[in-house]
Amino acid sequence: MANIGFIGLGIMGAPMAVNLIKGGHTLYAYTRGETPKSVTEAGARVCADSAEVARQADIIITMVPDTPHVEDALFGENGVAAGLSKGKIVVDMSSISPVATKDFAKRINALGCEYLDAPVSGGEVGAKAASLTIMVGGSTTAFETVKPLFELMGKNITLVGGNGDGQITKVANQIIVALTIEAVGEALVLAAKAGADPAKVRQALMGGFANSRILEVHGERMVKRTFDPGFRIELHQKDLNLALTTGRQLGVSLPNTATAQELFNACTAHGGAGWDHSAMVRALEKMANFEIGR
């Protein structure tokens, strides 16, 4: 059994940390604010800061909202870097900039430690069920060392390539998810306004080539009007901003990604930053002057 560090115990991080403890590992935890009761009751050892986590653990996992938060957790005052010693492994499971990730990896490598970027997909449900998809960038040696931990948190685990490749895979994932939410929303708004029962339309489509997890899960949210997150719109906005920024850096046009981002922006303008991302349909409904649930 290993000594594991976990930094960032939010809606995703807390259940991921609990699953590591259930796997028999000793877990040293730190988060801004109060440590969730679920984590302390599972037996985590709460640390004063990220540096203490790094001193106590052999493998240190970060799971925080955005690129600046990762940089602060790693290199800020009392950050992970201050507590590292040679041979340890840092694993960032946040969804952040692929370009920044490569820089963070070089800085951690310079301290004699390995670095993996391992963003996840599957949301809170996947985090609790230990069924996350995990997309990893880094060395094969570090990946094989950490893989047993990944298997306690996820099911579909892939070493994509070198540092940064895990993050670019997550960016690609978020593009596909956003565009599929938009497609399902358009289809259900159209069907409902034409007079069809959107619940039955969804049920019929799930038996054909248009079926997807988005249609199954988020289509149901749209029909039942259950927009509590889940995965918040503001977080998906962050991910699409990473996609659009990376696209500009590489000279790649992402026109439909930009459209999806504008629909999220419209939701946020109506107070929906904290809605589940399936609520993108509300922006489409505004333009159609019609709600699916009407």
List the catalytic residues: 170
Of 129, 152, 189, nearest to 202 (Cα)? Answer: 189
The burial of 166, by beta-carbon neighbours within 10 Å (0-12 exposed, 13-18 middle, 19 or more buried), is given as buried
DSSP code per residue over 68-96: HHHHHHHHSTT-HHHH--TT-EEEE-S--
User: Is 9 in contact with 36 (CB distance < 8 Å)?
Assistant: yes
Of 169, 180, 193, nearest to 256 (Cα)? Answer: 180
Six token digits for residue 218:
């988020």
Q: What's 273's DSSP letter?
A: T
- Token look-up 């963070």 returns 104
Q: What is the dihedral of CA 67, 56, 135, 123, to 10 degrees?
A: -70
